[in-house]
Structure 1
Amino acid sequence: MNGFSPHTMKTAPEGSRDGLREVEQGLGFIPNMMAVLAESPAALDAYQGIHAAFARSSFSAAEQQFLALSVSICSECYYCVPVYSLFAKKAGVPEEVINAVRDGKVIRDGRYSALRSFAAAVIKKRGQVSGAEVDNFKDAGFTKAQVLEVIIAAAFKLISNYTNHIADIPLDEAFQSFLWKEAKAA
Protein backbone atom coordinates (compact mmCIF):
# COMPACT_ATOMS: atom_id res chain seq x y z
CA MET A 1 0.00 0.00 0.00
CA ASN A 2 2.98 2.30 -0.60
CA GLY A 3 3.19 3.17 3.09
CA PHE A 4 -0.51 3.97 3.43
CA SER A 5 -2.77 2.04 5.79
CA PRO A 6 -6.53 2.29 6.26
CA HIS A 7 -7.38 4.23 9.40
CA THR A 8 -9.92 3.22 11.99
CA MET A 9 -11.95 5.68 14.02
CA LYS A 10 -9.27 5.34 16.72
CA THR A 11 -6.24 5.89 14.46
CA ALA A 12 -7.66 8.56 12.14
CA PRO A 13 -6.60 12.15 12.68
CA GLU A 14 -9.16 14.01 14.78
CA GLY A 15 -10.08 16.18 11.79
CA SER A 16 -11.15 13.11 9.79
CA ARG A 17 -13.30 11.39 12.39
CA ASP A 18 -16.57 13.22 11.69
CA GLY A 19 -16.21 12.48 7.99
CA LEU A 20 -15.54 8.80 8.66
CA ARG A 21 -18.49 8.67 11.06
CA GLU A 22 -20.72 10.07 8.30
CA VAL A 23 -19.50 7.41 5.85
CA GLU A 24 -20.02 4.63 8.38
CA GLN A 25 -23.55 5.82 9.11
CA GLY A 26 -24.39 5.94 5.40
CA LEU A 27 -22.82 2.64 4.31
CA GLY A 28 -22.67 0.64 7.52
CA PHE A 29 -18.87 0.41 7.30
CA ILE A 30 -15.86 2.50 6.33
CA PRO A 31 -14.50 1.49 2.92
CA ASN A 32 -10.72 1.15 2.70
CA MET A 33 -10.45 4.08 0.27
CA MET A 34 -12.13 6.44 2.73
CA ALA A 35 -10.06 5.00 5.58
CA VAL A 36 -6.85 5.76 3.66
CA LEU A 37 -8.07 9.18 2.49
CA ALA A 38 -8.62 10.01 6.18
CA GLU A 39 -4.83 10.35 6.51
CA SER A 40 -5.44 13.93 5.38
CA PRO A 41 -8.49 15.63 6.89
CA ALA A 42 -8.30 18.17 4.05
CA ALA A 43 -8.36 15.42 1.39
CA LEU A 44 -11.28 13.62 3.05
CA ASP A 45 -13.17 16.89 3.41
CA ALA A 46 -12.51 17.83 -0.23
CA TYR A 47 -13.71 14.44 -1.46
CA GLN A 48 -16.85 14.49 0.66
CA GLY A 49 -17.60 18.11 -0.25
CA ILE A 50 -17.31 17.54 -3.99
CA HIS A 51 -19.28 14.30 -3.67
CA ALA A 52 -22.04 16.17 -1.81
CA ALA A 53 -22.14 18.82 -4.54
CA PHE A 54 -22.38 16.13 -7.21
CA ALA A 55 -25.22 14.45 -5.29
CA ARG A 56 -27.14 17.74 -5.68
CA SER A 57 -26.63 17.76 -9.45
CA SER A 58 -29.53 17.54 -11.88
CA PHE A 59 -28.60 13.98 -12.90
CA SER A 60 -30.85 11.21 -11.59
CA ALA A 61 -29.42 8.95 -8.88
CA ALA A 62 -28.90 6.22 -11.50
CA GLU A 63 -27.14 8.65 -13.86
CA GLN A 64 -24.89 9.87 -11.04
CA GLN A 65 -23.75 6.35 -10.19
CA PHE A 66 -23.34 5.48 -13.87
CA LEU A 67 -21.29 8.62 -14.43
CA ALA A 68 -19.03 7.81 -11.46
CA LEU A 69 -18.61 4.30 -12.88
CA SER A 70 -17.82 5.63 -16.37
CA VAL A 71 -15.23 8.10 -15.06
CA SER A 72 -13.63 5.36 -12.95
CA ILE A 73 -13.37 3.10 -15.99
CA CYS A 74 -11.71 5.89 -17.99
CA SER A 75 -9.26 6.31 -15.12
CA GLU A 76 -8.71 2.53 -14.98
CA CYS A 77 -9.46 2.47 -11.26
CA TYR A 78 -9.45 -1.15 -10.10
CA TYR A 79 -11.11 -0.08 -6.82
CA CYS A 80 -13.81 2.40 -7.88
CA VAL A 81 -15.12 0.35 -10.82
CA PRO A 82 -16.40 -2.43 -8.51
CA VAL A 83 -17.69 0.11 -5.98
CA TYR A 84 -19.69 2.08 -8.54
CA SER A 85 -20.83 -1.08 -10.33
CA LEU A 86 -22.59 -2.03 -7.09
CA PHE A 87 -23.87 1.50 -6.48
CA ALA A 88 -25.14 1.75 -10.08
CA LYS A 89 -26.97 -1.55 -9.70
CA LYS A 90 -28.55 -0.38 -6.42
CA ALA A 91 -29.58 2.91 -8.08
CA GLY A 92 -31.41 1.06 -10.85
CA VAL A 93 -29.01 1.22 -13.78
CA PRO A 94 -29.96 -1.72 -16.03
CA GLU A 95 -27.58 -4.67 -15.70
CA GLU A 96 -26.95 -4.74 -19.46
CA VAL A 97 -25.81 -1.10 -19.31
CA ILE A 98 -23.48 -1.80 -16.37
CA ASN A 99 -22.02 -4.84 -18.12
CA ALA A 100 -21.56 -2.95 -21.40
CA VAL A 101 -19.66 -0.07 -19.82
CA ARG A 102 -17.52 -2.43 -17.71
CA ASP A 103 -16.73 -4.58 -20.76
CA GLY A 104 -16.07 -1.65 -23.09
CA LYS A 105 -18.98 -2.57 -25.34
CA VAL A 106 -21.64 -0.52 -27.09
CA ILE A 107 -24.42 0.70 -24.83
CA ARG A 108 -27.79 0.34 -26.53
CA ASP A 109 -29.54 2.92 -24.34
CA GLY A 110 -28.95 6.28 -26.06
CA ARG A 111 -28.94 8.39 -22.92
CA TYR A 112 -26.44 6.21 -21.05
CA SER A 113 -24.35 5.93 -24.21
CA ALA A 114 -24.18 9.71 -24.58
CA LEU A 115 -23.35 10.10 -20.90
CA ARG A 116 -20.48 7.62 -21.13
CA SER A 117 -19.17 9.13 -24.38
CA PHE A 118 -19.12 12.67 -23.03
CA ALA A 119 -17.60 11.65 -19.69
CA ALA A 120 -14.90 9.67 -21.53
CA ALA A 121 -14.13 12.66 -23.75
CA VAL A 122 -13.85 14.98 -20.74
CA ILE A 123 -11.47 12.59 -18.96
CA LYS A 124 -9.36 11.52 -21.93
CA LYS A 125 -9.04 15.05 -23.32
CA ARG A 126 -8.59 16.64 -19.88
CA GLY A 127 -11.58 18.86 -20.47
CA GLN A 128 -10.54 19.99 -23.94
CA VAL A 129 -13.66 18.63 -25.63
CA SER A 130 -14.85 19.99 -28.95
CA GLY A 131 -17.95 22.05 -29.53
CA ALA A 132 -19.35 19.11 -31.48
CA GLU A 133 -18.90 16.83 -28.45
CA VAL A 134 -20.77 19.30 -26.24
CA ASP A 135 -23.50 19.64 -28.88
CA ASN A 136 -23.85 15.85 -29.19
CA PHE A 137 -24.24 15.60 -25.42
CA LYS A 138 -26.90 18.32 -25.39
CA ASP A 139 -28.62 16.76 -28.43
CA ALA A 140 -29.00 13.57 -26.36
CA GLY A 141 -31.19 15.52 -23.95
CA PHE A 142 -28.63 16.86 -21.51
CA THR A 143 -28.37 20.51 -20.46
CA LYS A 144 -25.60 23.09 -20.28
CA ALA A 145 -25.73 22.69 -16.49
CA GLN A 146 -25.12 18.97 -16.91
CA VAL A 147 -22.06 19.66 -19.06
CA LEU A 148 -20.62 21.39 -15.99
CA GLU A 149 -21.90 18.70 -13.64
CA VAL A 150 -19.89 16.10 -15.57
CA ILE A 151 -16.85 18.14 -14.55
CA ILE A 152 -17.94 17.86 -10.91
CA ALA A 153 -18.12 14.07 -11.32
CA ALA A 154 -14.65 14.06 -12.85
CA ALA A 155 -13.26 16.13 -9.97
CA PHE A 156 -14.74 13.95 -7.25
CA LYS A 157 -13.64 10.73 -8.93
CA LEU A 158 -10.17 12.12 -9.63
CA ILE A 159 -9.57 12.31 -5.88
CA SER A 160 -10.59 8.71 -5.23
CA ASN A 161 -9.17 7.23 -8.44
CA TYR A 162 -5.76 8.82 -7.91
CA THR A 163 -5.76 7.94 -4.20
CA ASN A 164 -6.38 4.30 -5.10
CA HIS A 165 -3.63 4.31 -7.73
CA ILE A 166 -1.07 5.94 -5.43
CA ALA A 167 -1.91 4.03 -2.24
CA ASP A 168 -2.71 0.67 -3.90
CA ILE A 169 -5.73 0.22 -1.63
CA PRO A 170 -7.16 -3.29 -1.24
CA LEU A 171 -10.75 -3.75 -2.41
CA ASP A 172 -13.22 -4.27 0.43
CA GLU A 173 -15.06 -7.57 0.74
CA ALA A 174 -18.37 -5.73 0.14
CA PHE A 175 -17.30 -4.98 -3.45
CA GLN A 176 -15.50 -8.23 -4.36
CA SER A 177 -18.42 -9.61 -6.37
CA PHE A 178 -17.93 -6.73 -8.84
CA LEU A 179 -14.17 -7.20 -9.26
CA TRP A 180 -13.06 -5.67 -12.58
CA LYS A 181 -10.36 -6.35 -15.11
CA GLU A 182 -9.77 -3.52 -17.56
CA ALA A 183 -11.52 -3.88 -20.91
CA LYS A 184 -10.96 -1.93 -24.11
CA ALA A 185 -13.44 0.94 -24.42
CA ALA A 186 -16.03 0.86 -27.18
Structure 2
Amino acid sequence: MTSYRIHTADTADEAAKEPLEVLEGAFGFVPAAAGLMANSPALINTFFSAFGHFRGGGTFGPDERQVLLLSNAVANRSEWAVAFHTLESLEDGVEPAVVEAIRRGEVPADPRMAALSAFTQSLIEQRGRVDDAEVQAFKEAGFTEEQVFEVITGVAISAMTNYTANLAWPPLEDSVLPHAWKTGYLTGA
Protein backbone atom coordinates (compact mmCIF):
# COMPACT_ATOMS: atom_id res chain seq x y z
CA MET A 1 0.00 0.00 0.00
CA THR A 2 1.32 3.42 -0.95
CA SER A 3 1.59 5.95 1.83
CA TYR A 4 0.63 9.58 1.26
CA ARG A 5 1.40 12.43 3.60
CA ILE A 6 -1.53 14.12 5.31
CA HIS A 7 -0.42 17.74 5.29
CA THR A 8 -1.16 20.54 7.68
CA ALA A 9 -0.76 24.21 6.90
CA ASP A 10 2.73 23.94 8.39
CA THR A 11 3.88 21.07 6.14
CA ALA A 12 2.13 21.87 2.85
CA ASP A 13 3.78 23.63 -0.08
CA GLU A 14 3.20 27.37 -0.09
CA ALA A 15 0.67 26.99 -2.93
CA ALA A 16 -1.50 24.67 -0.80
CA LYS A 17 -1.31 26.45 2.59
CA GLU A 18 -4.24 28.86 2.37
CA PRO A 19 -7.03 26.28 1.95
CA LEU A 20 -5.65 24.25 4.86
CA GLU A 21 -5.47 27.32 7.10
CA VAL A 22 -9.08 28.20 6.30
CA LEU A 23 -10.28 24.64 6.88
CA GLU A 24 -8.42 24.42 10.18
CA GLY A 25 -10.06 27.66 11.26
CA ALA A 26 -13.51 26.35 10.30
CA PHE A 27 -13.24 22.86 11.81
CA GLY A 28 -10.50 23.23 14.42
CA PHE A 29 -8.48 20.66 12.44
CA VAL A 30 -7.51 19.97 8.85
CA PRO A 31 -9.81 17.22 7.56
CA ALA A 32 -7.64 14.29 6.54
CA ALA A 33 -8.91 14.22 2.95
CA ALA A 34 -7.96 17.90 2.55
CA GLY A 35 -4.54 17.21 4.05
CA LEU A 36 -4.10 14.47 1.48
CA MET A 37 -5.33 16.65 -1.39
CA ALA A 38 -2.64 19.18 -0.39
CA ASN A 39 -0.09 16.78 -1.93
CA SER A 40 -1.28 18.43 -5.15
CA PRO A 41 -1.77 22.21 -4.94
CA ALA A 42 -3.88 21.97 -8.12
CA LEU A 43 -6.26 19.50 -6.46
CA ILE A 44 -6.66 21.25 -3.09
CA ASN A 45 -7.07 24.67 -4.69
CA THR A 46 -9.58 23.41 -7.26
CA PHE A 47 -11.56 21.68 -4.50
CA PHE A 48 -11.41 24.73 -2.25
CA SER A 49 -12.58 27.11 -4.97
CA ALA A 50 -15.36 24.81 -6.18
CA PHE A 51 -16.61 24.15 -2.66
CA GLY A 52 -16.61 27.89 -1.94
CA HIS A 53 -18.86 28.50 -4.94
CA PHE A 54 -21.07 25.53 -4.08
CA ARG A 55 -21.53 26.70 -0.51
CA GLY A 56 -21.50 30.46 -1.02
CA GLY A 57 -23.23 30.76 -4.37
CA GLY A 58 -25.39 27.69 -4.36
CA THR A 59 -29.08 27.51 -3.57
CA PHE A 60 -29.17 24.42 -1.36
CA GLY A 61 -29.54 24.97 2.36
CA PRO A 62 -26.91 23.54 4.73
CA ASP A 63 -29.01 20.44 5.44
CA GLU A 64 -29.63 19.81 1.73
CA ARG A 65 -25.93 20.24 0.92
CA GLN A 66 -25.06 17.65 3.53
CA VAL A 67 -27.69 15.18 2.27
CA LEU A 68 -26.19 15.59 -1.19
CA LEU A 69 -22.60 15.16 0.05
CA LEU A 70 -23.46 12.20 2.32
CA SER A 71 -25.35 10.54 -0.54
CA ASN A 72 -22.27 11.02 -2.74
CA ALA A 73 -20.01 9.50 -0.10
CA VAL A 74 -22.24 6.43 0.20
CA ALA A 75 -22.55 6.04 -3.58
CA ASN A 76 -18.75 6.28 -3.87
CA ARG A 77 -18.27 3.87 -0.93
CA SER A 78 -15.93 6.34 0.76
CA GLU A 79 -15.70 5.29 4.39
CA TRP A 80 -13.85 8.43 5.50
CA ALA A 81 -16.29 10.74 3.69
CA VAL A 82 -19.39 8.94 5.00
CA ALA A 83 -18.14 9.34 8.57
CA PHE A 84 -17.17 12.99 8.02
CA HIS A 85 -20.46 13.93 6.34
CA THR A 86 -22.45 12.05 8.97
CA LEU A 87 -20.97 14.41 11.57
CA GLU A 88 -21.50 17.44 9.34
CA SER A 89 -25.08 16.38 8.46
CA LEU A 90 -26.09 16.09 12.09
CA GLU A 91 -24.44 19.43 12.90
CA ASP A 92 -26.25 21.09 9.96
CA GLY A 93 -29.68 19.93 11.12
CA VAL A 94 -30.33 16.83 9.02
CA GLU A 95 -32.73 14.57 10.89
CA PRO A 96 -30.92 11.54 12.35
CA ALA A 97 -33.40 9.18 10.63
CA VAL A 98 -32.52 10.72 7.25
CA VAL A 99 -28.79 10.33 7.97
CA GLU A 100 -29.24 6.73 9.06
CA ALA A 101 -31.28 5.80 5.99
CA ILE A 102 -28.66 7.24 3.63
CA ARG A 103 -25.86 5.45 5.50
CA ARG A 104 -27.76 2.16 5.01
CA GLY A 105 -28.17 2.90 1.30
CA GLU A 106 -31.90 3.40 1.68
CA VAL A 107 -34.18 6.23 0.62
CA PRO A 108 -35.06 8.53 3.54
CA ALA A 109 -38.72 8.80 4.58
CA ASP A 110 -38.65 12.61 4.20
CA PRO A 111 -39.90 13.12 0.61
CA ARG A 112 -37.71 16.12 -0.22
CA MET A 113 -34.53 14.60 1.19
CA ALA A 114 -35.43 11.29 -0.46
CA ALA A 115 -35.67 12.98 -3.85
CA LEU A 116 -32.34 14.78 -3.36
CA SER A 117 -30.53 11.65 -2.19
CA ALA A 118 -32.01 9.41 -4.88
CA PHE A 119 -31.29 11.88 -7.68
CA THR A 120 -27.73 12.41 -6.46
CA GLN A 121 -26.98 8.70 -6.22
CA SER A 122 -28.60 7.98 -9.58
CA LEU A 123 -26.55 10.73 -11.22
CA ILE A 124 -23.38 9.03 -9.93
CA GLU A 125 -24.45 5.47 -10.70
CA GLN A 126 -25.70 6.39 -14.20
CA ARG A 127 -22.68 8.65 -14.84
CA GLY A 128 -24.96 11.57 -15.61
CA ARG A 129 -27.27 9.61 -17.88
CA VAL A 130 -30.40 9.96 -15.76
CA ASP A 131 -33.68 9.76 -17.60
CA ASP A 132 -36.32 12.47 -17.85
CA ALA A 133 -38.53 10.76 -15.26
CA GLU A 134 -35.76 11.05 -12.65
CA VAL A 135 -35.25 14.73 -13.39
CA GLN A 136 -39.01 15.28 -13.22
CA ALA A 137 -39.30 13.45 -9.87
CA PHE A 138 -36.49 15.64 -8.49
CA LYS A 139 -38.27 18.80 -9.66
CA GLU A 140 -41.65 17.59 -8.39
CA ALA A 141 -40.09 17.36 -4.92
CA GLY A 142 -39.66 21.15 -5.05
CA PHE A 143 -36.22 21.48 -6.61
CA THR A 144 -35.47 23.76 -9.55
CA GLU A 145 -33.91 23.32 -12.97
CA GLU A 146 -30.85 25.20 -11.65
CA GLN A 147 -30.56 22.73 -8.78
CA VAL A 148 -30.43 19.82 -11.24
CA PHE A 149 -27.12 21.28 -12.39
CA GLU A 150 -26.09 22.26 -8.87
CA VAL A 151 -26.20 18.57 -7.94
CA ILE A 152 -23.53 18.03 -10.59
CA THR A 153 -21.35 20.54 -8.74
CA GLY A 154 -21.77 18.59 -5.51
CA VAL A 155 -21.00 15.32 -7.28
CA ALA A 156 -17.80 16.80 -8.75
CA ILE A 157 -16.66 18.21 -5.42
CA SER A 158 -17.36 14.91 -3.70
CA ALA A 159 -15.44 12.99 -6.34
CA MET A 160 -12.32 14.92 -5.33
CA THR A 161 -12.60 14.11 -1.62
CA ASN A 162 -14.15 10.65 -1.97
CA TYR A 163 -11.60 9.45 -4.51
CA THR A 164 -8.72 10.90 -2.50
CA ALA A 165 -9.95 9.14 0.63
CA ASN A 166 -10.60 5.90 -1.25
CA LEU A 167 -7.08 5.99 -2.68
CA ALA A 168 -5.23 6.83 0.53
CA TRP A 169 -7.44 5.46 3.37
CA PRO A 170 -6.88 8.31 5.88
CA PRO A 171 -7.57 7.72 9.56
CA LEU A 172 -10.73 9.20 11.02
CA GLU A 173 -10.34 12.31 13.14
CA ASP A 174 -11.37 11.98 16.80
CA SER A 175 -14.57 13.99 16.28
CA VAL A 176 -15.51 11.84 13.28
CA LEU A 177 -14.63 8.45 14.80
CA PRO A 178 -18.06 7.90 16.45
CA HIS A 179 -19.58 7.98 12.96
CA ALA A 180 -17.31 5.33 11.42
CA TRP A 181 -18.91 3.46 8.53
CA LYS A 182 -18.04 0.40 6.48
CA THR A 183 -19.47 -0.56 3.11
CA GLY A 184 -20.94 -3.65 4.77
CA TYR A 185 -23.32 -1.29 6.57
CA LEU A 186 -25.30 -0.95 3.35
CA THR A 187 -28.58 -2.83 3.30
CA GLY A 188 -28.12 -6.14 1.58
CA ALA A 189 -24.32 -5.91 1.57
Asked if structure 2 preserves the Cα contact closer than 8 Å seen for 1:71 and 1:119, the reply is yes
| Unmatched runs of 5 consecutive residues or more in structure 2 | none
Letter in structure 2 aligned against 1:57: G
Are 1:48 and 2:48 an aligned pair?
A: yes
Once the two structures are TM-superposed, the CA of residue 50 in structure 1 deviates from its matched residue by: 1.2
Partner residue, 1:104: 105
1:21-50 Cα distance to aligned partner (Å, 9 max, x none): 111111111121111111111100011111
Q: Aligned equivalents of 2:142 and 2:53: distance in 1?
A: 22
The amino acid of 2:140's aligned partner reads D
Give, in whole Å, the separation in 2 of the partners of 1:108 and 1:18: 40
User: If the length of structure 1 is used for normalisation, what is the TM-score?
Assistant: 0.95
**Aligned-partner SS, 2:159:** helix
RMSD, aligned CA: 1.2
CA distance in 1, matches of 2:90, 2:27: 15
Is the aligned partner of 1:184 residue 2:172?
A: no
Q: In the aligned structure 2, how far is the partner of 1:90 from the partner of 1:11?
A: 29
In 2: Cα distance, 1:14 partner to 1:26 partner = 20
Query: What number of residue pairs does the alignment pair up?
Result: 185
1:39 matched to which residue of 2?
A: 39
Native 8 Å contact 1:37 1:163 kept in 2: yes
Deviation, 1:5, is 1.4
| Contact 2:19 2:44 (C-alpha < 8 Å) held by counterparts | yes
Where do 4+ consecutive residues of structure 1 move more than 6 Å? Answer: none
% identical equivalent positions: 34
User: Contact 1:121–1:129 at 8 Å: present in 2 too?
Assistant: yes
Displacement after TM superposition at 1:184 (Å): 3.3
**If the length of structure 2 is used for normalisation, what is the TM-score?**
0.94
Partner residue, 2:122:
121
* 3-state SS of 1:57 partner: coil
Match of 1:9 in 2: 9
Q: Structure 1 residue 59: deviation in Å?
A: 0.8
Structure 2 counterpart of 1:60? 61
